Chain A
Amino acid sequence: MGNRVVITGMGIYSCIGKNKDEVCKSLYEGRSGIGIDPQRKLMGYRSALTGILEKPDLKGKLDRRQRLCLPEHGHYAYVATAEALEQAGIDAGFLAAHEVGILYGNDSSAEAVVTGADIIREKKNTVLVGSGNIFQSMNSTLTMNLSTIFNLRGINFTVSGACASGAHAIGLGYMLIKQGLQECVICGGAEEVNKYSMGNFDALSAFSTREDEPAKASRPFDKNRDGLVPSGGAATIILESYESALKRGAAILAEVIGYGFSSNGEHISVPNVDGPKRSLLMAVRDAGVDIGDISYVNAHATSTPVGDKNEARAIAEVFGKCRPLVTSTKSYTGHEMWMAGASEIVYSTLMMLNDFIAPNLNFEEPDEASAMLNIPRERVDKAFDMYMSNSFGFGGTNATLIIKKHKREDDKRRID
Chain B
Amino acid sequence: MTREELIEKTKVILAEEFEIEESDIVPDASLKDTLGLDSLDLVDVVVLVEQNFGITLKGPDFVGVATFADFYEMLWRKLNE
Contact = CB atoms under 8 A, between A and B. Distances in A.
Contacts of A181: none
Given A64-B18, A64-B19, A131 B50 contact: no
Nearest to B57: A127
A135 to B, nearest CB: 9
A127 B40 contact: no
Interface residues of A, number: 12
Contacts of A123: 50
B19 to A, nearest CB: 5
Interface in A119-143: 123, 125, 127-132
B61 to A, nearest CB: 12
Contact of B40 (A63, A65, A125): A65
A128 B45 CA distance: 10
Interface in B1-28: 17-19
Contacts of A125: 50, 56
A128 B47 CA distance: 5
Nearest to A67: B19
B56 A131 contact: no
A134 to B, nearest CB: 10
A131 B40 contact: yes
Nearest to B43: A131
Nearest to A127: B46
Nearest to B19: A64
Contacts of A132: 44
Given A65-B40, A125-B56, A130 B47 contact: yes
A125 B56 CA distance: 9
A128 B46 contact: yes
Interface in A302-327: none
Interface string A48-64: 00000000000000011
Interface in B32-81: 40-41, 43-44, 46-47, 50, 56
A277 to B, nearest CB: 49
A128 B48 CA distance: 9
Contacts of A127: 43, 46-47
A130 B56 contact: no
A131 B40 CA distance: 6
A306 to B, nearest CB: 46
Interface of A: 63-65, 68, 123, 125, 127-132
25 contacts: A63-B19, A64-B17, A64-B18, A64-B19, A65-B40, A65-B41, A68-B44, A123-B50, A125-B50, A125-B56, A127-B43, A127-B46, A127-B47, A128-B46, A128-B47, A128-B50, A129-B47, A130-B43, A130-B44, A130-B47, A131-B40, A131-B41, A131-B43, A131-B44, A132-B44
